[in-house]
A and B are shown apart, each in its own frame.
Chain A
């Protein structure tokens, strides 16, 4: 993992000191709330329905046990004993007092963490493949580029007051676990004909009220030209993106208005004037790359007798192994997904005690490496097969062994009206309802991969547009209703979901999803996921079944 050096540490400490001063000006009445708002937002401090919310950056979703323990300590000391991992791979604390915020930032700074650029119209946290460095699907380690982007984007002199927020995703695997095509910029590492590495550059994807799958504006950008090219994209956007209407200010609107070919032409023209002096020197890239050099993996056999025996004797472990483990590039190791979707709990929430358990396991069994996924789960990327029974047992004791990764109960949901001032409807109780309805693990496994994503309003923080089944909360004359969409995908086959029909009241959402699942099970042909069946049959059979009683 990348370790902050004295320069990185000084940067975070300077930020913390600046914010402490701003809070004291606010508490003394020298700043009005209106003047203070943009300043606190620059540090991730939001004012929500009931309290302040602090959003802490977890750059490219990567952290170590020391950092996870500090998050647990903050949850215990300053919040109600838990935190919420987000679809941006950050963590939010929802019950913060303004007067505590500077102390929290100092506590975070002590482990090289902060809230910088987790809000505001700037370049936000970069999403990277959570299996980076562990999967053999990757052409390169995406974290190297994500860390370089973190540094380049930190208090960028030109691009800190963009028309709107700006999010970059990067993946080096064919299977996209970052929703790259739903980001402002998606970078997919490709190998060129001569073996050289480059980026496919996708610009203008996004969710919100006008969802787009981003178009590719450049098929192949040599990797060493990344930063001059990013500068060109951001400059075209900063100068020409709309600023008159915040709902039309994202880069996707500019790309769509110009057309992707014209947008690409403008970027290329700007890029030709910038030149390679804006690129990061190879020496710095090499320094960052060295920080992600693989730790010494043991030479292990592919088969572990301990692992096989545990699967044979313990059905709960076997189920966990089926659903929550992924292939590792090294024999004798596995990638472990830890679901934060315990049935009936709030998706993405973890208690302070659970954070400590994950930190302990990472330290003891997982090369001190923890990842957060944009689907609001955690990952221990490097665990020996021999150690899995012990890891599973510890997770199970902590309520962290829910064996449902990628299944119907592995639901993404935004905080919704329970916390958020923007929401029209609650999201969490809907997620809980659905999860409880499909609590039978055998049935969930029989249904297979099915991604449900729930947003409490059109801002789409729960990514409903790209859910295999998306659920969007809407307000109808003061009542909470839910609009269902089908067939979305945030993966390499990115698609925006299609509307099913009229919105449903809250108590009909889970039964409707049950009906959709029944149609799928009836219609599916061998090996089809829900998404595949939907793509083959279209919306008709699903629509008919859900609205049958309305006819």
Chain B
């Protein structure tokens, strides 16, 4: 089971992952699962009817808008980073939080390194499966590296132009 770091109330901690990530050609086990968007679109109703918590894994070339009406029923959306350099999931995360109002867990999976932590936290991710062995302490440190930020984002941090007005 990969390490799962969760962000809650400004605190990073290591948690037991209650979800099983299920590949498309594997059968779905009992309990809480994360399935692909394609599988969700085919089997979502049936999976939810079994009274479990459900998560959906969205690849970067898939539009999160496709989930707009299902969001209240989803516990987790896992946004995939096939490569460190692929930044599409930051837009997906921001849209899910700001435009589509998703309030469940937003999880970063794939090529997830501590250098991305600050961007992920700012765009609304609150769960991380680091691929570089980072501990919650490493992750928290990387996410809080910069004392100031210049933009409004999902995390609600006051950007420099607001801090300056309040100073």
Contacts and interface: CB of A to CB of B under 8 A. Distances in A.
Given A155-B118, A155-B149, A278-B152, A162 B87 contact: yes
A173 to B, nearest CB: 27
A5 interface: yes
A424 to B, nearest CB: 26
A15 B115 CA distance: 12
Given A152-B151, A156-B151, A157-B119, A11 B146 contact: yes
Interface stretch (A192-200, A280-288, A305-313): A280-288
A287 B91 CA distance: 30
A475 interface: no
B90 A161 contact: yes
A275 to B, nearest CB: 10
Interface stretch (B12-20, B30-38, B48-56, B158-166): B158-166
Given A14-B145, A161-B85, A238-B88, A152 B164 contact: no
Contacts of B86: 161, 243
Nearest to B147: A10
B91 A158 contact: yes
B164 A159 contact: no
Nearest to B165: A283
B89 to A, nearest CB: 9
A283 B161 CA distance: 8
A235 B150 CA distance: 18
Given A7-B164, A158-B91, A159-B87, A18 B148 contact: no
B61 to A, nearest CB: 9
A281 B123 contact: no
A371 to B, nearest CB: 24
Interface string A424-446: 00000000000000000000000
Nearest to B120: A157
Contacts of A243: 86, 88
B85 A281 contact: no
A278 B148 CA distance: 18
Given A38-B85, A39-B115, A281-B161, A273 B122 contact: no
Contact of A280 (B84, B87, B145, B161): B161
A121 interface: yes
A7 B88 contact: no
A10 B148 contact: yes
Interface in A212-249: 235, 238-239, 243
A160 interface: yes
Contacts of B146: 11, 14-15, 155
B119 A14 contact: no
Most buried by B among A235, A243, A281: A243
A406 interface: no
A18 B144 CA distance: 11
B94 interface: yes
Contacts of A159: 87, 90
B148 to A, nearest CB: 5
A210 interface: no
A10 B150 CA distance: 12
A273 B87 contact: no
A83 B162 CA distance: 38
B91 A238 contact: yes
Given A14-B146, A155-B146, A239 B88 contact: yes
A154 interface: yes
A281 B164 CA distance: 12
B99 interface: yes
Contacts of A273: 99
B153 interface: yes
A162 B89 CA distance: 11
Contacts of A14: 145-147
Contacts of A154: 150
A7 B152 CA distance: 15
Interface in A1-56: 5, 7-8, 10-11, 14-15, 18, 38-39
Contact of B87 (A151, A161, A287): A161
Contacts of B164: 5, 7, 284, 287
A156 B149 CA distance: 9
B84 A38 contact: yes
Contact of B153 (A11, A38, A157, A162): A157
Contacts of B84: 38, 161
A225 to B, nearest CB: 15
Nearest to B84: A38
Contacts of B91: 158, 235, 238-239
B161 A11 contact: no
Contacts of A7: 148, 160, 163-164
B123 A158 contact: yes
B87 to A, nearest CB: 3
Interface string B89-119: 0111010000100000000000000011011
A5 B149 CA distance: 13
A247 B119 CA distance: 26
Interface in B23-82: 63
Contacts of A277: 152
A156 B94 CA distance: 12
A157 to B, nearest CB: 3
A239 B115 CA distance: 21
A216 B68 CA distance: 33
A157 B148 contact: no
Closest CB pairs A-B (n = 3): A161-B87, A157-B122, A284-B161
Interface of B: 63, 84-88, 90-92, 94, 99, 115-116, 118-119, 122-123, 145-154, 160-161, 163-165
Interface of A: 5, 7-8, 10-11, 14-15, 18, 38-39, 121, 151-152, 154-162, 235, 238-239, 243, 273, 277-278, 280-281, 283-284, 287
Given A7-B160, A121-B87, 13 more contacts: A11-B150, A14-B146, A154-B150, A156-B151, A157-B94, A157-B123, A157-B154, A159-B90, A161-B87, A161-B119, A235-B91, A243-B88, A284-B165
17 contacts: A7-B148, A7-B160, A8-B160, A15-B146, A121-B87, A151-B160, A152-B150, A152-B151, A157-B90, A157-B151, A157-B154, A159-B87, A161-B90, A162-B87, A243-B88, A283-B165, A284-B164
